[in-house]
Amino acid sequence: MDRFTYSKTIGAFVLCALISLQISAQSELTIEPVKDGLYMIVGPGGNVGVRVTPEGVILIDDKFPRNFDEIQSLVASVSDEPVKYVINSHHHGDHTGSNAGYIQIAEIIAHKNARDNMLRGNQDAPPRLVYSQETSVFLGGAEVRAYYMGTGHTNGDSVIYFPDLKTVHGGDLLHGIAPFIDYANGGSSRGWVSTINGMLELDFDTAIPGHGALMDRRDVLAFRNQMEAVRDHMKALIRDGTTAEQAPEMIQNPDLSWTQAADGLFMQRSVPGFYAEIARELE
Ligand SMILES: [Zn+2]
Asked if pLDDT for residue 268 goes beyond 60, the answer is yes
CA 52 / ligand 1 centre spacing (Å): 24
Residue 121 within a domain? yes
Distances (CA, A) of 131 to 196, 209, 226: 20, 22, 30
Asked if pLDDT for residue 115 goes beyond 70, the answer is yes
Asked if pLDDT for residue 6 goes beyond 50, the answer is no
Asked if pLDDT for residue 13 goes beyond 80, the answer is no
Which of the four pLDDT bands, split at 50, 70 and 90, describes residue 266? confident
Distance of CA 216 to the CA centre of its chain: 17
- 234-256 as b/e, with b when 16 or more CB fall inside 10 Å? beebbeeebeeeebbebbbeeeb
Residue 271 within a domain? no
CA 73 / ligand 1 centre spacing (Å): 24
Report which of 256, 178, 241, 168 is spatially closest to residue 212, judged by C-alpha positions.
178
pLDDT of amino acid 263: 67
CA 92 / ligand 1 centre spacing (Å): 5
> Which position has the higher pLDDT, 11 or 281?
281
Q: What is the mean pLDDT of the chain?
A: 92
Distance CA 191, CA 175 (A): 16
Residue 37 within a domain? yes
CA 162 / ligand 1 centre spacing (Å): 21
pLDDT of amino acid 7: 47
pLDDT of amino acid 72: 98
CA 45 / ligand 1 centre spacing (Å): 9
pLDDT of amino acid 64: 98
Q: Are the CB atoms for 47 and 126 separated by under 8 Å?
A: no
Asked if pLDDT for residue 25 goes beyond 90, the answer is no
Number of domain units in the chain? 1
Distances (CA, A) of 273 to 14, 74, 80, 245: 46, 39, 46, 12
Q: Are the CB atoms for 83 and 75 separated by under 8 Å?
A: yes
CA 279 / ligand 1 centre spacing (Å): 24
Residue 56 within a domain? yes
pLDDT single digits (tens) 38-65 = 999 999 999 999 999 999 999 999 999 9
Query: Residue 29 gets which letter from DSSP?
Result: -
CA 170 / ligand 1 centre spacing (Å): 11
CA 94 / ligand 1 centre spacing (Å): 7
Domain encompassing residue 209: 25-228
Query: Residue 152 gets which letter from DSSP?
Result: S
Asked if pLDDT for residue 199 goes beyond 60, the answer is yes
CA 158 / ligand 1 centre spacing (Å): 11
Asked if pLDDT for residue 207 goes beyond 70, the answer is yes
Lowest pLDDT segment from 58-67, 181-190, 216-225, 252-261: 252-261
CATH number of the domain at 82, please. Answer: 3.60.15.10
DSSP H helices, 201-264, are 217-239, 247-250
CA 245 / ligand 1 centre spacing (Å): 26
Q: Which residues surround ligand 1, an ion (CB under 5 A)?
A: 92, 172
Residue 130 within a domain? yes
CA 5 / ligand 1 centre spacing (Å): 50
Report pTM: 0.90
Residue 256 within a domain? no
CA 109 / ligand 1 centre spacing (Å): 16
pLDDT single digits (tens) 213-228 = 999 999 999 999 999 9
CA 235 / ligand 1 centre spacing (Å): 25
CA 179 / ligand 1 centre spacing (Å): 9
* Element spanning 10, H or E: helix 3-26
CA 172 / ligand 1 centre spacing (Å): 5
Residue 65 within a domain? yes
pLDDT of amino acid 267: 79
> Which position has the higher pLDDT, 159 or 25?
159
pLDDT of amino acid 26: 55
CA 255 / ligand 1 centre spacing (Å): 25
Q: Are the CB atoms for 160 and 87 separated by under 8 Å?
A: yes
pLDDT of amino acid 260: 83
pLDDT of amino acid 15: 43
